[in-house]
Amino acid sequence: MDLNARVPDGPIEKKWEKRCFEMKLINPANKRKYRVIVVGSGLAGASAAASLGQLGYEVLCFCFQDSARRAHSIAAQGGINAAKNYQNDGDSVYRLFYDTVKGGDFRSREANVYRLAEISNAIIDQCVALGVPFGREYSGYLANRSFGGAQVSRTFYARGQTGQQLLLGAYAALTGQIAVGQVRMFPRSEMLDLVVAGGRARGIVVRDLVTGEIGCHAADAVVLATGGYANAFYLSTNALGCNVTAIWRAHRRGAFFANPCFTQIHPTCIPVAGEHQSKLTLMSESLRNDGRIWVPAKGDDRRHPSEIPESERDYFLERKYPTFGNLAPRDVSSRAAKAVCDEGRGVGPGGRGVYLDFAEAIGRLGEGVIRERYGNLFEMYEQITAEDPYRQPMRIYPAPHYTMGGLWVDYNLMSNVPGLHVIGEANFSDHGANRLGASALMQGLADGYFIIPNTIGDDLARVAPKDRFPEDHPAFQEVRKEAEERIRKLLSAQGSRPVESFHRELGELLWQTCGMARNEKGLKTALERIPILRAEFWRDVRVSNEGEDFNQSLERAGRVADFMEFAELLVNDALQRDESCGAHFREEHETPDGEALRDDANFAYVAAWEFAGVGKPPILHKEQLQFEHVPLSQRSYK
Amino acid sequence: MKLTLKVWRQAGPRAEGRLVTYPIDDASLDMSFLEMLDVLNARLLMKGERPIAFDSDCREGICGSCGFLIGGVAHGPRRLTTACQLFLREFHDGATIVVEPFRSGALPVIKDLVVDRSAFDLIQQAGGFISARTGGASEANSVPIAKEVSDRAMDAASCIGCAACVAACPNGSAMLFTAARVSHLSLLPQGHPERKQRALRMVDAMDRLGFGSCSNHGECEAVCPKGISIDFIARLNREFVKASAVETMEPVRKV
């Protein structure tokens, strides 16, 4: 199989411009003859659908939520990076590129990351034009804040609701295109499968979640913007509906899945409180600008935090990483928190928590300033925990948050299946083994507003709209039949356990063996256990037999069934990557002071997996990574 | 803690609905209201009964998916809180709680507590956007915007589109929702070129879709989980009157 990333040659600063010039174009009069499917309406999907519609393509956009505006991008809190250098603090496109490659622990493709940094500034311009009310200074100019993994202030924000505002901007752009009939929107619609025939993606099979009807939609190209798979861990910061189904089904139809083991555990989330908990809530990384993280210096210290004097506190991030302090990158901070809790110094119920303390900042800046910066986050914390963070430190603990892995794509964001494009969190492209804060929003919008509208033409120009498969083509009907059979099988499942109980068990297994720290023994145990759990699921799950129409238990069952298959790939990837890098921490490979120890000689590649059948070992393909601009080095945030 | 739930059960859009009582004997204070429904649903499923359908997704109060009447109040008793962020510590042990879907002709019930809010998308499609083509934007800092103005726009833009305002309004009006969007965009200079048509089109859509008019009850503001102020309704009225005086409504055109 061809695994050519098709990166343009020439100097890195000129690659994107060169590619835009090399690509085939479709003249404006012909664009309307082409039909493009976009699955997902988050930042990547909504911005892509809107921009493709503006170009004149006929666009069909699908989301499982009841409105495009509710996609999970909306929950992103802290901000979006751009290399504007408004702060006059030494930022540049090159520095953003450099920080992102280094932050990703040298497991991303340099050319893609450079393009991301290059486009970052245009994203801010576009968002402002769409009415995104970014935070401003009294001068009327845009404000910035700092974020983890960077020593410059380059993060643009809208209070603690940046994702919401960016998404509402993209949703508005999408809405404008729906209004003029250029985009047809299908809310409450879930993609069940991808149709690949004659060497090309031909369309999708979709279930209408209200009527239960399973329909086929044909197009000249399919764009997946369906987000990440952190819900494989059951408890994560993702919305309940986030799932792997679209990209997993595409993988089963031939698309390679890249670096699935690169899963980000976010350091600042509200700790698990009870057995019925359905999700974990993130507290924005921006809080680390003013909050100081600490635990008691001695183990098993049950005193109230206010009774613990300064001299008996361990501000462990400031101690271990004096240069970056509380703004160390996410992977590093999460592991440090886990380490102090493993030593028995964790706080709160179960000892799985560390303090995030604002007392010093409140003393220095006043409560008003802190309220203005983080008011909504403090309220959310108080709603959930019934503790007032203005009076006592927050308790936080790492939780699964974002997945750097995803479907493999080339420089043009096309998968190895022609006609199948993958954007946003659903692809693997830009963040390597660890994503820096405020970079997900940047990538989603770069892909959707600026990259795919340019690159998709190069793919479409190679096919003629008249060759589009009709929806009654046997290729569609075959896939539809399979999807219907699966739905029937799930509906007839009348075992003894609800779907959530299986999902929780799978999640716990993955969290224990393939979470913040991994080792060969644990991973092998997981590989033995997952097929057994999957078989149990199909034998013993109970799905509500209320009917084929609106049936939420059926929706969840389908998603969990796919997680059950996907989990094996996740663990296989973690097992083969016999090194530590970024968020992938193999206990066998650490530096003397406990940091991730990479093995560049053997693992400086993208692991792209080919599906070989459920329960069969997947086939590994490697894309070697070259680092010509950011020299390979041991990351240091000391 | 013990609770008694009376939940509206309705099998489909045209089916008849009724309140069904469910005793809960083992709820805990630290559970969220929706987690309690999750637990109840797992039990109903095991007993061979149909679980209660309700929308929720992010469960952190931002996506706007969740929302129903809890004790007659949209999103329940705690101010500035969505249903998903409501915890059982807000209730007394032994309380009886009636749970019903949002009630409005413009938001028909799909099943149990799930309503169809697509009318909100249609109001937005009437003009709730700035039709700036991707790629044509000028440098972001070329137009300074006073912080107070930008902050005010942000206050309006915080709307999560949950439709609690409609459910709470005795007239079933969507004025707070519409006003939030119109205000957000009319406050910002980028929204000015389409400002008049936007106000005319969105108000027209709201009327056409079967939402009632505003008669200043203020119930919407009281239940809004994001604290959107009814001052924005005054602003919408002003925008609408000013626009009506100088322009007539035109259809949305391609960019």
What tens digit of pLDDT does each residue of B201-217 get?
A: 999 999 999 999 999 99
Element (H, E) at B96: strand B96-100
Measure B169 CA to nearest chain A CA, in Å: 22
- Are B98 and B122 part of one and the same domain? no
| Whether the Cβ atoms of residue A270 and residue A385 lie closer than 8 Å to each other | yes
If pLDDT is split at 50, 70 and 90, which confidence band does A2 have? Answer: low
Does residue B251 belong to any structural domain of this protein? no
If pLDDT is split at 50, 70 and 90, which confidence band does A251 have? Answer: very high
Domain at B14, CATH number: 3.10.20.30
d(CA B82, CA B162): 9
Mean pLDDT, chain A, whole residue set: 96
Residue count of chain B: 255
Q: With 80 as the cut, is the pLDDT of residue A510 above it?
A: yes
Q: With 80 as the cut, is the pLDDT of residue A483 above it?
A: yes
Q: In the structure encoding, which two tokens stand for residue A445, read together?
A: 């919008």
Note down the domain range covering B38: 3-111
Contacts of B46 in chain A (CB under 8 A): 496, 498, 542
Q: With 60 as the cut, is the pLDDT of residue A1 above it?
A: no
Alpha helices in A270-366 (DSSP H): 316-320, 330-342, 359-365
Phi and psi angles of residue A431, each rounded to the nearest 5 degrees, phi first: -105, 0
What mean pLDDT is predicted for residues A353-376?
A: 93
- Taking the CA atoms of chain A, what radius of gyration do you get in angstroms? 24
CA B71 to chain centroid, in Å, comes to 18
Sheet containing A200-208: order of strands = A189-197, A200-208, A214-218
- Are B175 and B86 part of one and the same domain? no
What mean pLDDT is predicted for residues A306-327?
A: 96
Contact B58 A84 (CB under 8 A): no
Contact B130 A498 (CB under 8 A): no
| Fold observed for domain A478-618 | Methane Monooxygenase Hydroxylase; Chain G, domain 1 (1.20.58)
Check residue A638 and give its pLDDT: 84
Distances (CA, A) of A231 to A279, A352, A366, A564: 9, 20, 38, 11
If pLDDT is split at 50, 70 and 90, which confidence band does B43 have? Answer: very high
Contacts of B64 in chain A (CB under 8 A): 67, 69-70
The answer, yes or no, to whether ipTM is higher than 0.95 is yes
Mean pLDDT, chain B, whole residue set: 97
Total domains, chain B: 2
Contacts of B145 in chain A (CB under 8 A): 136, 140
If pLDDT is split at 50, 70 and 90, which confidence band does B255 have? Answer: low
Interface A–B counts its CB contacts (< 8 A) at 227
- Are B125 and B209 part of one and the same domain? yes
Q: In the structure encoding, which two tokens stand for residue A171, read together?
A: 């949703």
Q: What is the pLDDT of residues A265-290, one digit of tens each?
A: 999 999 998 888 989 999 988 899 99
Domain end, chosen from B111, B130, B160, is at B111
A 142-201 → B contacts, CB under 8 A? 142, 158-159, 161, 163-165, 168, 171-173, 175-176, 178-180, 182, 185, 187
Contact B157 A74 (CB under 8 A): no
What mean pLDDT is predicted for residues B135-163?
A: 97
Q: What is the pLDDT of residues A422-480, one digit of tens each?
A: 999 999 989 999 999 999 999 999 999 999 999 999 999 999 999 999 999 999 999 99
Q: With 60 as the cut, is the pLDDT of residue B87 above it?
A: yes
Contact B130 A75 (CB under 8 A): no
Q: What angle do CA A619, A620, A626 make, to 5 degrees?
A: 160
- Are B103 and B191 part of one and the same domain? no
Is 0.95 topped by the overall pTM?
Answer: yes
Domain end, chosen from B73, B89, B111, is at B111
Check residue A72 and give its pLDDT: 98
Domain at B155, CATH number: 1.10.1060.10
What mean pLDDT is predicted for residues B156-168?
A: 98
- Are B61 and B143 part of one and the same domain? no
Domain end, chosen from B111, B132, B150, is at B111
Closest among A215, A196, A219 to A205, alpha carbons compared: A215
Check residue B253 and give its pLDDT: 78
Check residue B122 and give its pLDDT: 98
Q: Does A75 touch chain B (CB under 8 A)?
A: yes
Does residue B106 belong to any structural domain of this protein? yes
Q: How is chain A split into domains, by residue range?
A: 265-400, 478-618
- Are B39 and B138 part of one and the same domain? no
- Are B85 and B197 part of one and the same domain? no
Distances (CA, A) of A342 to A320, A328, A338, A346, A420: 17, 20, 6, 8, 44
- Report the chain B residue with the minimal C-alpha distance to residue A158: B154
- Are B138 and B175 part of one and the same domain? yes
Q: What is the pLDDT of residues A543-562, one digit of tens each?
A: 999 988 999 999 999 999 99
- One-letter amino acid at B37 equals L
Strands (E), A270-328: 292-296, 313-314
Among B58, B64, B81, the residue with its CB nearest the CB of A72 is B58
Contact B118 A210 (CB under 8 A): no
Q: With 90 as the cut, is the pLDDT of residue A363 above it?
A: yes
What mean pLDDT is predicted for residues B15-28?
A: 97
d(CA A612, CA A564): 16
Does residue B214 belong to any structural domain of this protein? yes
Check residue A276 and give its pLDDT: 87
Work out the number of other CB atoms within 10 angstroms of the CB of residue A539: 11
Q: With 70 as the cut, is the pLDDT of residue A108 above it?
A: yes
If pLDDT is split at 50, 70 and 90, which confidence band does A169 have? Answer: very high
Q: With 90 as the cut, is the pLDDT of residue A376 above it?
A: no
- The architecture CATH gives domain A265-400: Alpha-Beta Complex (3.90)
> Exposed, middle or buried: residue A388 (CB in 10 Å: 0-12, 13-18, 19+)?
exposed
Indicate the range of A145-149, A252-256, A602-606, B11-15 predicted with least confidence: A145-149
